[in-house]
C-alpha cells in the first residue's frame, strides 16, 4: 500500500505542477474570469484544492481548530499555486517517511457540520489524491473554455511511463 501511496503523492505534485505552469502564463483576468464549473474561476478552483489538502492535513495532525486557507485570502494565483504545491509536497514527504503502520492508522475527525467520522489514513490519502485529479480535470476543461487549446498531459499512466 505504501508504494502505491508514494506514487500517488508524487503524481499529485507532478500533475499539479504541469497545470500550474500553464495557468501562471495566463493573465490575472483569465485567472479570475468566470467559467461554468464547480467553482467560478481558475483561482477559486485552485483555492478549493488548497483548502481540501490543507484541511485533511490538519485533520490528520489532529488540530483542534481547522484553518481554511481561502478564508480571508488576499493573494493572487501565484500565491495560491505556491501554497497548493507546498501542501502537496508536504503530503509527498509525509508518505515517503511514513511506516506501513502509520498509513493503516485509523484516525477520527470532524467535518464542517461537526459530525465525527473515523477512517484509515490510507483511505484519506487516496481521497486527497483523487480529489486533486478530479479538480485538475475541471481546470483543463475551464482552460479550454478560456480559449487555451494546448494543455499538458496529466494522466497517471503518462506520469508512470515517464518514470521508467
CA–CA distance, 37 with 139 (Å, rounded to integer):
9
CA–CA distance, 100 with 54 (Å, rounded to integer):
22
* CATH T-level topology, domain 2-68+75-162: 1.20.120
* pLDDT score of 151 more than 80: yes
* pLDDT score of 164 more than 80: no
* pLDDT score of 112 more than 90: no
pLDDT, tens digit, 9 for 90 and up, residues 100-110: 999 999 999 99
What is the pLDDT at residue 64? 86
What is the pLDDT at residue 130? 97
What is the pLDDT at residue 51? 98
What pTM, to 2 d.p., does this model score?
0.95
pLDDT, tens digit, 9 for 90 and up, residues 42-100: 999 999 999 999 999 999 999 989 999 999 999 999 999 999 999 999 999 999 999 99
CA–CA distance, 48 with 68 (Å, rounded to integer):
10
Please tell me whether residue 109 adopts helix, strand or coil conformation.
strand
Contacts of 164 (CB under 8 A, 6+ apart): none
pLDDT, tens digit, 9 for 90 and up, residues 7-55: 999 999 999 999 999 999 999 999 999 999 999 999 999 999 999 999 9
Distances (CA, A) of 102 to 1, 24, 35: 11, 36, 40
Amino acid at each position: 500500500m505504501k508504494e502505491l501511496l508514494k506514487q500517488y503523492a508524487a503524481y499529485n505534485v507532478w500533475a499539479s505542477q504541469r497545470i500550474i505552469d500553464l495557468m501562471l502564463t495566463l493573465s490575472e483576468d483569465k485567472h479570475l474570469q468566470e467559467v461554468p464549473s464547480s467553482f467560478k474561476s481558475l483561482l477559486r478552483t485552485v483555492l478549493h484544492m488548497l483548502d481540501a489538502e490543507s484541511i485533511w492535513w490538519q485533520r490528520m495532525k489532529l488540530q483542534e481548530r481547522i484553518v481554511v486557507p481561502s478564508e480571508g485570502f488576499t493573494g493572487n494565483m501565484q500565491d495560491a499555486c505556491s501554497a497548493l504545491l507546498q501542501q502537496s509536497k508536504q503530503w509527498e514527504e509525509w508518505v515517503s517517511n511514513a511506516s506501513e503502520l502509520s498509513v493503516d492508522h485509523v484516525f477520527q475527525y470532524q467535518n464542517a457540520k461537526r459530525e465525527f467520522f473515523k477512517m484509515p489514513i490510507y483511505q484519506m490519502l487516496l481521497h486527497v489524491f483523487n480529489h486533486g485529479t478530479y479538480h485538475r480535470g475541471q481546470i483543463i476543461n475551464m482552460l479550454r473554455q478560456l480559449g487555451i487549446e494546448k494543455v499538458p498531459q496529466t494522466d497517471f499512466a503518462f506520469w508512470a511511463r515517464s518514470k521508467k
